[in-house]
Structure 1
Amino acid sequence: MTIERRKLRWNGWGLAHATFELGARDQAVWAYIAAALGREHLTPSPAVPLPEIELAAPRLGEATLAALHGVVGSEHVKTDRYERAFHARGKSYLDLLALRAGELGEQVPDAVVYPGDAEEVQALVDLAVTHDLALVPYGGGSSVVGGVTAMRGSHAAVLTVDMTRMRRLLTLDELSHCATLEAGVYGPDLEQQLQARGFTLGHYPQSFEFSTLGGWVAARSAGQQSNRYGKAEKWLLGARLATPRGAWHTESFPASAAGPNTNQLVLGSEGTLGIITEATVRIHPVPQLRDYRGYLFKSFAEGAAAVREIVQRQLPVAMLRLSDAPETHFLQTFSAAQHPPGAATRIGSRVVAWRGYGEGRCLLLVGLEGDREAVLDAQPLTRCVCARHGGLSIGQSPGRKWYARRFMMPYLRDPLLDRGVAVETLETATRWSNLLPLYHDIDAAIREALHRNAAAANDRAIVMCHVSHAYEDGASLYFTMVFPQRLADSPAASAAPARAQWLAVKQAATDAMVHGGGTISHHHGVGTDHAPWLAREKGPVGLAALTAVKHSLDPGEAMNPGKLLPTS
């Protein structure tokens, strides 16, 4: 995957030349979306071109620029409009509103620097302390919680430190099944280097193609196959950071009772303690066999019961993804708009509905990976559990389709925004005993908030949810919302109405999460967007402890100010 920033969208997702494939049925697809949202047609809402956007003038003096050139080389210090705009924000809905409207204000880096090794990163941190600079670590820039916004806080200027030149595999211990890589490596490059040696990390978030190892650690990321390979806290064995106090190497023993494990401080730290330069990770042999297949359930509750039994029986699954009825319906109807089903598919759908799996049905995808024997053994076991809870096997086709297109959905967001349609997500996790009550509470809060803040009286919203990560004691809930934006009457009013609309929905949904006993984030992190609720989750003592660690390592608050923890 390219790290050349000009080959990527500066104000959207992915490669500049890539699009979401609509099967040559663009008009039918957009007509379907409009009807689903209660509109006769969608409203064009083009993004402001980069040449028309005003950027704050760089605040770096000649002496500081010369010092930066001395650290990384003049060719790796960027102050042009494209680089500064590209690195100003991440990929949250609020980020995209600001980028597309050209409302970057002061939140744009004064320069972007590309270090080549850990020593150069430490030198940049040291320079930031002496020159009163804020540093924002940047990998793929895929944060959806405001985690890479170029905020300078109280400092004279802000630098974005783009880590993507640092992408080497440093060591691989085949006996111990662990490897050390530089933190700026993109997901595809990481897997290519590991799989050339017969191993995999197995970490495949939806942002896999455009996110980095360091970002996964910093945000406590979860991959789609985390049931087999684990979230970041399971596979991170050790890390190296550049901090204002100097280089920090966390412990990387297989086990230790020498006090708290400091890796747990690095995980989820979001660049506020230092810049992750290397990570040692647990790796696995490349799986011999993959098997992904689908099951239909008559209700979300029955599907959730099957997922719970599978994980509590410790069956060796790689992935369990349970869509609720609205998401199952949307996936089916959107796919049909793209690719009209043939006669055989239509007949099959009627047969399935006749058997009781009609309106309200929910799709569960079960993924198995590993040794051939283990996968073949797990197939009948998972099938029996699903059948016991009323699940109907529908074969491998749904699983294969999902697997082939699992990284493509983010490309749909930009053309939706071009037509005045918002897409955003929220996610949480809770115990099994609380999963269904919390699901209903958050769903109701989102729907009510979207109704109260609708752009027009007849507008409808699509609100969907799935369970994508399951544990013995609980599971995640991942909500996706599609709704007509509140658009400004004139370009001068910009993104303010859409921003206010979303913030009202975000407030209602997150309050419902916290009040209902869910976490404010299962794997997206905190950034700026979730920071107002962090104190309620951590409590005063926990927050004080984390703040003390921050002040110990970064007394001048130069590291990614405004994120995660309150600033002085």
Structure 2
Amino acid sequence: MTIDRHTLRWNGWGARERAFEFGDHADAVWTWLRSELGLTTFDMRPAVSLDALELPTAALGDDARAALEAIVGPVWVCGDRYERAFHARGQSYPDLLRLRAGEVETAPDLVVYPRAEQVQAVLAWADAERVAVIPYGGGSSVVGGVSGEAGRQRGVVTLDTTRMDRLLALDETSHTATFEAGIYGPQLEQSLGARGFTLGHYPQSFEFSTLGGWIAARGAGQQSGRYGGAATWLVGARLATPAGEWSTGAFPASAAGPDFNHLVAGSEGALGIITQATVRLHRAPNVRDYRGCLFPDFVHGVAAARELVQAEVPVATLRLSDPSETDFFSEFSKARKPPSTPRRVAGRALEAMGYGGDRCVLIIGHEGERGAVDAAHTRTNAIVRRNRGIPLGRGAGQSWYRDRFALPYIRDPLLERGVAVDTLETSTSWSNLLPLHQAVGDAIATAASATLRDGQRAMMMAHVSHAYLDGASLYFTIVFPQAPAGEELHQWQAIKSAASRAIIEHGGTISHHHGVGTDHRDYLPEEKGPLGVRLLGAIKAELDPRGIMNPGKLVPTASAKG
């Protein structure tokens, strides 16, 4: 395995020895946050210990363990408390609520770590024995995509893919590479970097997510403007399915019917397990240049982002924070490190120029050869200024780039203090982006306020990212005081439901890059239509006739056969 599971948090984010760095002013940060949320004191809610965690009784016995050990070896079949707890849930807010409270109603009976060539045999056994199989890479799903639901099967096995971590081939002429699907992001990039290449896929979960997971969720990394998302860079895939091995081929393009790679990207383990994938590569950039720009309001920032994309200026990253997110990170930064006198003076000057409470920060990243980056930067500055933007230089961009993988670590100390944080995302056309931003923001604010006690407040913010010629993604974050103990899940459901309904009713997709899982499955029929959902069900029934693959995710379970 690339990462020893015991070095990671079983009920939180990332490596045990790492934590969010608040600097020398942690007390000031917490004082500021209490004030923003309308709290006089934090409601401390420590997580239960692993020993106190209530796991369901395993439904599979010694015969199942022996059968799996015969396939993968005794060392690679686990049924201990830690492994079952670690693989019970993903990283969504409701997942962590359950884990931290010690109330895990579903968990795998066994966890198996096969090599790629052993996966088909594991599925054949599970299919014959009516055992659900939950594919698990890094476990970073934030939509309930890896929870151990048995459906109508008699037990649950989680199939951890992380022993499948080899680079199988690198074609320097064609700029493609074939990897086993369980390889983690850092190992993948290290192996490519040694040969002068990059995949360029850097989601916020990069350090603790896998190639197969990126594809299964149809993911998009923070530099998708240059490198594309999973559906763009996937050339071909090989899957193990209950019906047999399935390969989509690996062509640069083909008109031989529909492209099955688009079925694999976004399949969420419901159709089979991705064992290997061929991906498109880029030469590793000589230059990475990230800078910030300031706009007087969200309207001008959106206009600049749209013009940059539609003018086909080559950018790797465009991330436009709305006024609330801009203010949040500005005040958070000030609490962590009080600004110097020159910075305070500059801030007052900008406010006097009209860059005050409605201001928005746009992070723009260019990557590639020096000449191309410089040319793109010149064109970018012209468009920014034309839309009343002020270039801020490299400081803001470099700060974002440096800390982009650190922010998930802040969630655990927030939960310790009774403060919830959750995210959701969508995408829509440029013409609908501002109305959708307003509608979803209003829905979240209204629903959150209804769950809070007197004087409490929620903080809602959003940013635009993953921009295309015809539209972009909207990514929302909400920070709010948790409801009284025992009511937290109902509180989340009220907010999530209101936001999801607003997205569906105002022209957005239910997910841009997080996937469907369990959290979004009830909204899929409205987006895909009844016929589309039946079509997905028919495909699943062909590949997985007994419905053992990741039950309850993405598509309705097919009718049992045999």
Q: TM-score range with shorter-chain normalisation?
A: over 0.9
- TM-score, with length taken from structure 2: 0.98
| Residue in structure 1 matched with residue 110 of structure 2 by the alignment | 111
**Whole-Å Cα distance in 2 between the matches of residues 153 and 410 of structure 1?**
31
Question: Aligned match of 1:513 in 491, 497, 503?
Answer: 503
User: With structure 1 as the length reference, what TM-score do the two structures score?
Assistant: 0.97
Contact 2:2–2:163 (Cα < 8 Å) also in 1: no
1:194 to 174, 192, 195: 192
Q: Alpha-carbon deviation of 1:2?
A: 5.3
- Supply the AA of the counterpart residue of 1:471: Y
Aligned pair partner of 2:295 in 290, 293, 297 = 297
Report the CA distance between 1:264 and its aligned residue: 0.7
Indicate conservation of the 8 Å contact 1:207/1:407, yes or no.
yes
Q: Is the 8 A contact 1:169 1:193 kept in 2?
A: yes
For the Cα contact (< 8 Å) 1:272–1:560, is it kept in 2? yes
Find the aligned partners of 2:547 and 2:2 in 1 and give their Cα distance.
32
2:520 to 530, 535, 538: 530
Identity %: 58
User: What secondary structure does 1:385 align onto?
Assistant: helix
CA distance in 2, matches of 1:503, 1:56: 24
Of residues 372, 376, 398 in structure 1, which corresponds to 2:374?
A: 376
- Partners of 1:279 and 1:24 in 2: CA distance: 45
Match of 2:470 in 1: 473
Structure 1 segments unaligned to the other structure (5+ residues): 489-495
What is the letter of the counterpart of residue 471 of structure 2? G
Q: For 2:449 and 2:52, how far apart are their aligned partners in 1?
A: 34
What is the DSSP-based 3-state SS (H/G/I as helix, E as strand, rest coil) of the residue aligned with 1:296?
strand
- Is residue 209 of structure 1 aligned with residue 207 of structure 2? yes
Contact 2:2 2:183 in 1 (8 A): no
- Name the aligned partner's letter for residue 419 of structure 1: R
Q: Deviations over 1:217-236 (max 9, x none)?
A: 00000000000000110000
Verify the 8 A CA contact 1:44 1:419 in the aligned structure 2.
yes
Which aligned pairs between 1:201-240 and structure 2 lie closer than 5 A? 201-240=199-238
For the residues of structure 1 that align with 2:285 and 2:10, how far apart are their CA atoms? 36
Corresponding residue of 2:99: 99
Q: Partners of 1:7 and 1:154 in 2: how far apart? A: 34
Quote the offset at 1:546 in angstroms: 0.9
Q: Deviations over 1:128-181 (max 9, x none)?
A: 011111000000000000000011111111000011111110000000000000
Match of 1:16 in 2: 16
Larger CA deviation: 549-558 vs 63-72: 63-72
**Aligned partners of 2:171 and 2:530: how far apart in 1?**
42
Separation of aligned partners in 1, 2:2 and 2:323: 38
- Give the Cα separation in 2 of the matches to 1:347 and 1:111: 60
SS at match of 1:69: helix
- Residue type matched to 1:544 in 2? R
Match of 1:564 in 2: 554
Q: Secondary structure at the match of 1:25?
A: helix
**Contact (CA 8 Å) 2:47, 2:101: kept in 1 or not?**
yes
**SS, match of residue 203 in structure 2:** coil
Question: 1:474: Cα distance to partner?
Answer: 0.4
**How far apart in 1 are the matches of 2:97 and 2:506?**
29
1:306 equivalent in structure 2? 304
Q: Give 2:127's match in structure 1, choosing from 124, 129, 148.
A: 129
Alpha-carbon distance in structure 1 between the residues aligned to 2:383 and 2:71: 59
Q: Distance in 1 between matches of 2:190 and 2:374?
A: 27
Confirm or deny: 8 A CA contact 2:185 2:207 kept in the other structure. yes
Q: Which residue of 1 aligns with 2:484?
A: 487
Distance in structure 1 (CA, Å) of the matches to 2:383 and 2:444? 32
Distance in 2 of aligned mates of 1:26 and 1:299 = 30
CA positional deviation for 1:468:
1.3
In the TM superposition, what is the alpha-carbon distance from 1:57 to its structure 2 partner? 1.9
Deviation at 1:476, TM superposition (A): 0.6
**Corresponding residue of 2:323:** 325
Task: Give SS of 2:294's match.
Answer: strand
Deviation at 1:62, TM superposition (A): 2.1
Preserved CA contact (<8 Å) 2:203 2:222: yes
Distance 1:178 1:513 in 2: 37
| 475-484 or 249-258: bigger deviation | 249-258
1:271-282 counterparts in 2 under 5 A? 271-282=269-280
AA aligned opposite 1:304: V
Q: Does structure 2 retain, via aligned residues, the 8 Å contact 1:251–1:261?
A: no
Letter in 1 for 2:273: I
CA distance in 1, matches of 2:3, 2:159: 14
Q: How does 1:392-541 map to 2 (within 5 A)?
A: 392-454=390-452, 456-488=453-485, 496-541=486-531
Shift of 1:3: 1.3
| CA distance, structure 1, for counterparts of residue 173 and residue 76 of structure 2 | 38
Distance 2:286 2:80 in 1: 47
- Partner letter of residue 430 of structure 1? T
Please point out which of 523, 548, 551 is paired with 2:538.
Answer: 548
SS state of the match for residue 88, structure 1? coil
Deviation per residue, 1:385-419 (Å, 9 max, x gap) = 01000001111100000000000000000000000
Amino acid corresponding to residue 444 of structure 1 in structure 2: D
SS at match of 2:236: strand
What's the secondary structure of 2:487's corresponding residue?
Answer: helix
How does 1:345-356 map onto structure 2 within 5 Å?
345-356=343-354
Report how far residue 349 of structure 1 moved. 1.2
Which amino acid in 1 is paired with 2:552? G
Counterpart secondary structure, 1:179: strand
SS at match of 1:535: helix
Report the more deviating stretch, 82-91 or 22-31.
22-31
Partners of 1:314 and 1:227 lie apart in 2 by: 10
**Does the CA-based 8 Å contact 1:114-1:164 persist in structure 2?**
yes
**Structure 2: where are the runs of 5+ without partners?**
none
Q: Distance in 2 between matches of 1:119 and 1:18?
A: 34
CA distance in 2, matches of 1:39, 1:63: 54
Matched residues in 1 for 2:323 and 2:337: separation? 21
- Determine the structure 2 residue equivalent to 1:44: 44
The letter for the 1-side match of 2:481 is P
Task: Write the deviation string for residues 279-331 of structure 1: whole angstroms up to 9, x where unpaired.
Answer: 10000000011110011011111100000000001110000000000000000
User: Helix, strand or coil for the counterpart of 1:47?
Assistant: coil
The number of residue pairs the alignment matches comes to 558
CA RMSD of aligned residues (A): 0.9
* 8 Å CA contact 2:236, 2:278 repeated in 1: yes
Report if the CA contact (8 A) 1:31-1:41 is conserved. Answer: no
Q: Deviations over 1:361-383 (max 9, x none)?
A: 00001100011111011111001
Is 2:136 the partner of 1:138? yes
Q: Distance between the aligned counterparts of 1:322 and 1:169, measured in 2?
A: 36
User: Structure 1 residue 351: deviation in Å?
Assistant: 1.8
The 2-side partners of 1:153 and 1:378 are apart by 52
CA deviations 1:41-100 (Å, max 9, x no partner) are: 211011111101121222212222111001110000010000000000000000000000
- Residue 32 (str. 1) matches residue 32 (str. 2): yes
Alpha-carbon distance in 2 for matches of 1:161, 1:404 = 33
Aligned residue type for 1:208: F
Structure 1 residue runs of 4 or more that deviate by more than 2 Å after TM superposition: none
The answer to whether the Cα contact below 8 Å between 2:179 and 2:278 also exists between their aligned partners in 1 is yes
Match of 2:107, as an amino acid? V
Which of the numbers 254, 278, 287 marks the counterpart of 1:256? Answer: 254
Which deviations, in whole Å up to 9, do the C-alpha atoms of 1:411-449 show, x marking residues without a partner? Answer: 000000000000000100000111101110000000000
